[in-house]
Amino acid sequence: MERAPKFEGRPVWAEISLGAIQRNFRRIRRHIGRGRKILSVVKGNAYGHGAVPVSKALAKAGSDWFGVTSTAEGIELREAGIRQPILLLTGFWPGEERRILRYRLTPVVTEITQLHLLERAARRVGRRLDFHLKVDTGMSRLGIAPSAADAFLAALADCPHLRLGGTMTHFASSEVFTNTQTEAQLRVFLDFVARLRAAGLHPGLLHLANSAAIASRPETWGDMVRPGALLYGYHQRYDPPERLAEVCETLPLEPALSLRARIVSLRDLPAGVGIGYNARFVTDRPSRIAVIPAGYADGLVRQLSNTGRVIVRGRCVPIVGIVSMDLTTIDVTDVPGVRLGDVVTIFGRQGPLSRSPFDVAAEIGTVTSDLLCALGSRVPRFYRR
């Protein structure tokens, strides 16, 4: 039987291996070489794994930078003692400039007008502020257009308290090798950087590569790479699919997270009984149905209703009925000896079997990070080194 941590309260929990995250980081370091920096992406509570403990573990492993989405995420890391540079990957809101300076965060500029906000704040405190510039090379979300290079240069010339510390872009489909979008984005980016250099402006750190590009496109590595899902043990799904086997061989990873619960109810039901909301599942035989105290507020997403599987006593069993916010029902009819309190593995390994978020995401047509980020704040996390 699977050993579970001892704690009081609702019996659903996550187990997170900080050692696996550190080993994944070191594998990435070996893969890209020691001449490049690594920005560890810990946004979204480190993809559900816990931003503070994960960032501390990665700082010990040698992470050069950290990447977050918001000033609030950056401040959380600073107050926890993280001293490495922290990049606000999706920029900042007007009015956040003072907090950026106070907590030594590095903003990403995605609109030229943001330069003037940062300049005014930096001038007020008499400090020089580094920023990174995001260029929209084809993602069509955030970033200045390549055609705005001259306007950017003119605006920066009026901001003596600002310094360009890095230039970046974001790939839309770096895991797709059946089209040339990534190659086109790379060309646009390099052309933009050449225009900066021609105008006498050093672009700072060049960084483009997200997880899929780190694993499979060395021409995009630049001066710094930005692993997200890779740190937590997951590759992307590639197009064509056979590409995945290649990247798994060149960059092996360890999934860091397991999600488990205990059986809190067992009942024997005859055939023809509806289970859960709207009776979306009806027993077609005499069945033993178990209830686990985990639902979509915990990270067991609703898309798994009547389709997902979990592991009980070393056997895969189906989720039956609708996954609710707090509870999920599973069919354990074919599991000998099942009893109250048995550990159920939602994600992770139990005995010879495993259910990876990567595999589950593929089954329901989403991405791994979608499932990881769904892990609810009310789920206690237990960290193993």
Active site residues: 43, 277
Half-sphere exposure of 61 (CA within 13 A, CB side): 28
CA distances from 140 to 136, 137, 171, 251 (A): 6, 7, 10, 30
**Distance from first CA to last CA of the chain, Å, rounded?**
21
Determine the 3-state secondary structure of 317 from DSSP.
Answer: strand
Q: Are strands 265-269 and 287-292 parallel, antiparallel or unpaired?
A: antiparallel
Residue 165: in which H helix or E strand, if any?
strand 162-168
Q: Which two tokens stand for residue 9?
A: 């309260």
Q: Read out DSSP for 123-135? A: HHHT--EEEEEEB
Place of tokens 């960032």: 55
Q: What angle do CA 13, 14, 18 make, to 5 degrees?
A: 150
Sign, Cα dihedral of 14, 17, 18, 22: negative
